Amino acid sequence: MSYALQTLWHEKSRYAAGVGAVAFSAVLMALQFGLMLGLFTITSTPLDHTDPRNVWVGSKDVKAVDLGQPIPVSHIGRIGERPGVMPPEPYIAHFANFQKPNGGTDLCFLLGHAGPAGASDVLDSNLRTALTEPFAIVMDESDLEKMGMRETGDTAKINGREVRLVGIVRGLKSLAAPWVLCSHYTASELMGALLPADHTKYFIAQCDTQERANALAKELREEYPEMTVMTANEFSVSSRLYWLLRTKAGIAIGYAALLGLAVGAVVTMQTLYAATIASAKEIATLLALGIPRSKVYGMVIAQAFWIGILGIVVAYPIVMLLKFGAETAGTQVILRPEVLVGAAIITLGMALLAGLVALRSVRTIEPMSLLR
């Protein structure tokens, strides 16, 4: 290992292309998956910005938070009073038609809460109080221009009913249809005939601990198999996976990452192959001295290993810099430890595979070549 590393250092110009190719592959893979996680985190925003101890109860076989079907408000009695559980609250999550004050229409997504369990964590006490007014709404600042809104007090129409902007928040970016926060009463009135009378979309039961939330979800699933019951975390993961698989974005991003790996593998392979050919006389001398060919093979693999390690080391600060640039531009990139470690392991495996393929150059070298 040390000899292989010394060789890389003394012949760094020869191996620089391989290190660069590995770094390129690692950067591309980490950023691709970081962008994907950031993109699909938005699909679970209503869940991620409420209390994680919540248990969500909806209609049968709901895969994502925006796909719930109407359920009778009377079903709230199915949850009832249980130890360690706050009184359940109705919640509306539904697409609606937003008529801009300056003309034109667009889709928005109503989030109507009835109490503290369903209230988004971006709402302070003043905004929660303001939303108790009928037809009052709150929006994220990133969506104001798109929806023709400028400041607090502006009015627009949702499904033909006039609403008034009473507050502006940050941290509630949307993927397509802007999130519109309001009370359950306002959401119900705005939905009109689209939501049958005495119906809602979800019930939210807030538990005193996460363990109690897990237990309650299990209890309700056993008691009412015809309803969807999940903890906030389970529903969040389900929503992200649904849209990831539904839009085939995972396949596209995976394909791009594989393309980057392929480019890195080919360049690394050619770098090792050329370096081995250039060292043919030295290798032939080692073989003539009785050094087993297996040790020479091991040296080439060790070089591939160190090229992979150096490439990953070079890639890390580049990934962090690009992540900062993307987030400055308003694009969320989530680089969890498992993403970074996974990208590093796959990239290192690619470098080692390139080393194995490059061994074919060693097989053609014989001690007799010294006599030519």
CA of residue 106 relative to chain centroid, distance: 26
**Spans of the chain below 50 pLDDT:** 1, 370-371
CA distance 71 to 176: 26
Tens digits of per-residue pLDDT, 108-149? Answer: 999 999 999 999 999 999 999 999 999 999 999 988 988 999
CA distances (Å), 213 to each of 31, 65, 209, in order? 34, 18, 6
Based on the number of CB atoms within 10 Å of its own CB, is 338 exposed (0-12), middle (13-18) or buried (19 or more)? exposed
pTM: 0.74
